[in-house]
A and B are shown apart, each in its own frame.
Chain A
Amino acid sequence: KQEVTQIPAALSVPEGENLVLNCSFTDSAIYNLQWFRQDPGKGLTSLLLIQSSQREQTSGRLNASLDKSSGRSTLYIAASQPGDSATYLCAVPNQAGTALIFGKGTTLSVSS
């Protein structure tokens, strides 16, 4: 059964810092990995999707990498801003490819 773990659970940084969020998954036979952002009390916004054939994806100040063999992904946020404060969720498909399985998320707080 696929399980997803995210560390750290929470992170506080001053504005301008570069930071890395970690995600690990138990079953490396995945087709893709998706990173989401969730603001308090709100829905999930897709940030990046990495296909299994790719090693990384970039969108603006965000860069996500994928190492399937070790069951790990990282989300790198450059030059953090207070507006980046949110919970970041990592998700991978289950073995049947019928659903996404989520980690508990990392709650990021960026202070000005």
Chain B
Amino acid sequence: EPEVTQTPSHQVTQMGQEVILRCVPISNHLYFYWYRQILGQKVEFLVSFYNNEISEKSEIFDDQFSVERPDGSNFTLKIRSTKLEDSAMYFCASSVEGAGTGANVLTFGAGSRLTVL
């Protein structure tokens, strides 16, 4: 069964460092998403991406964050200067159609755990 692949599975970084989290969505999917989950808290939406541009971003997704689809397969989340509060599990997801489409299922990756020291 097709799956969304995320790397790295765990990254430890020092505060102020730049981090890039990588995702390989399912090949025929056109919509891509990043979510985060701080330990013990709910899954929070960060950003959605379609047709090489951001379609929506949450208030969490400030200027420290950026997303890119550098080639035909990868989808990346960059955090420019990490803070302690960026420590979380980051999930990538993809779907064939938009989240609001009737039968559309979002498929999530296993996540990248980011620890900022």
Interface residue ranges, A against B (CB under 8 Å): 30-32, 34, 36, 41-46, 49, 51-53, 89, 91, 93-94, 96-105
Q: How far is the CB of A50 from chain B (nearest CB, A)?
A: 10
Q: How many Cβ-Cβ contacts under 8 Å join chain A to chain B?
A: 79
Chain B residues with a Cβ closer than 8 Å to the other chain, count = 29
Kindly list chain B residues whose C-beta atoms are within 8 Å of the C-beta of A97. 98-101
A residues near B66, Cβ cutoff 8 Å:
none
Say whether B27 faces chain A, with CB atoms less than 8 Å apart: no
Q: Which of A52, A89, A98 contacts B102 (CB 8 A)?
A: A52
**Residue in contact with B103 in the complex, picked from A41, A44, A49, A103, CB distance below 8 Å:** A49
Question: Contact at B103–A98, with CB atoms within 8 Å?
Answer: no
Would A99 and B105 count as touching, CB distance under 8 A?
no
